[in-house]
Amino acid sequence: MPETDVLIAGAGPAGLLLAAELALAGVRTTIVERHAERPPYCRGFNLNSRSLDLLARRGLAEGLVAEGHRVPHAPVTGLPGPLLLADAATDHPFSLGIPQTRVEEVLEARAIELGAELLRGHELRTFTQDDDGVTAELHNGHFRCRYLVGCDGGRSTVRKQAGIAFPGVDARWFALLGDVECELPYGPSSGPDGRSLFVIPRPGYVRIVVREDDPPADKDTPVTLDRLQAQVDAVLGRHVELRAPRWLSRFGDAARLAERYRSGRVLLAGDAAHIHPPAGAIGVNVALDDAFNLGWKLAATVRGTAPADLLDTYHEERHAAGERILANTRAQVALEEAGAEPWADLMRRLAAHPAGNRALAEIITGLDACYEPGGHPWLGRLAPDVPLTVSGTRTHLAALLHAGRPVLLDLTGAFASWSAAIDVVSASWSSSDIEAVLLRPDGHVAWVGTSGDAGLAEAVHRWVGDVPVPASA
């Protein structure tokens, strides 16, 4: 029976980034993907500011930014104007237009380069777990692993087999999506009865999104070009020929959140843990956020260096984030449907105010993520990519995290004695009154020192484990 440390079901963005994070930490990692090849269509075309900030902590953002198209605002549904990102708390004040397929190619190359194994055409069917690991049954054999992670989509086999409840609300409406060729202009197009559809430009084709009248009882019924054509004609009140379909699909506004992100040695990430309306183009971005949070914690657990409850913090932090994501995507849909309702007008006025615009942009993109609210403004948040000087060389904070290890950033030279416990980087940053910062491998701040090392030992034990600390601590 083949063995690995971590078996990941699903080679989408969450699975590929998670594999790269685990392999970076020296953990044997195998991805099994039921499709023999990457699907020929592209689900999404957006990386938001939060995702770019996270990917920059591994040196992966710069190449993607060079390939993509920058848009200076956050995608949002239900507001007439954009949510500008110029003043938001981010190192990347823009959304990046780039195909999800390209992002997956980059993440796959990264994972394989670091030593992860990707097995396409291998479908996980069931599994059993015991005190020592998980035995997974594939369509063509068995796999033994220490941990299993379901990154296998909204209909996750892993989630169902683990018996993890998926509470939420069913879809109230469905929409058709079609990547086709046609002569419709970009943006919204309305018909005589006021109904509308939306056309999004894509390289060589357009993406049409239109609400579906009278959807079939079986929502898995394949969408045909004739079905999409009939719906477009009905909305516009005239015939506009649709040609050369590349991808036809159906989606709804269902919103569900896994009751638990962890069940023993089984974990969930990405769509396997949450589904929500597509408002705000958040899907791929929250999947990457899950994987980035889980990777270093699972790696430390596998290596046996993690504090006893470190892996449980994955559920604590990302389940709460999932609740916020479901709330804000559903709110965007409600805002769009409310039209001229007084509270909808109030939200639009709030978005028009600079401070309100910034706050909403950070909420929509997840830039407001804070895993430990209270205390210093940096605590629990992603540390900004401030310029630093290390050993006489100019660099940035994000570069200190490329190796995926926790770092104690020493800004005064007073923390060298901590080097036996953790990687200490002595640096200068002239604009700060902070003396030192403990950075988790994901770049979030675990401790901020402004007057000595009070509380540092507790933070190190909480996030790094039982390591020797200076006697003075």
Give the predicted TM-score (pTM) of the model.
0.95
pLDDT of residue 194 exceeding 80, the answer is yes
Radius of gyration, alpha carbons of the chain:
23
pLDDT of residue 77: 84
Q: pLDDT at residue 473 above 70?
A: no
pLDDT recorded at residue 433: 84
Q: What is the mean pLDDT of the chain?
A: 94
Q: Where are the alpha helices (DSSP H) in 96-212?
A: 100-113, 157-161
pLDDT in tens, 226-248: 999 999 999 999 999 999 999 99
Q: Is 80's pLDDT higher than 80?
A: no
CA–CA dist 73, 358 (Å, integer): 10
Q: What DSSP state is assigned to residue 136?
A: E
- Give tens-digit pLDDT for 12-36: 999 999 999 999 999 999 999 999 9
Q: Is the pLDDT of residue 340 over 70?
A: no
Which pLDDT belongs to residue 81?
A: 76
Question: Hey, which bits of 345-469 come out as E strands?
Answer: 387-390, 393-396, 407-410, 423-426, 436-439, 445-449
CA atoms of 228 and 206, how far apart (whole Å): 13
**Could you tell me where the beta strands, DSSP code E, fall in 320-422?**
387-390, 393-396, 407-410
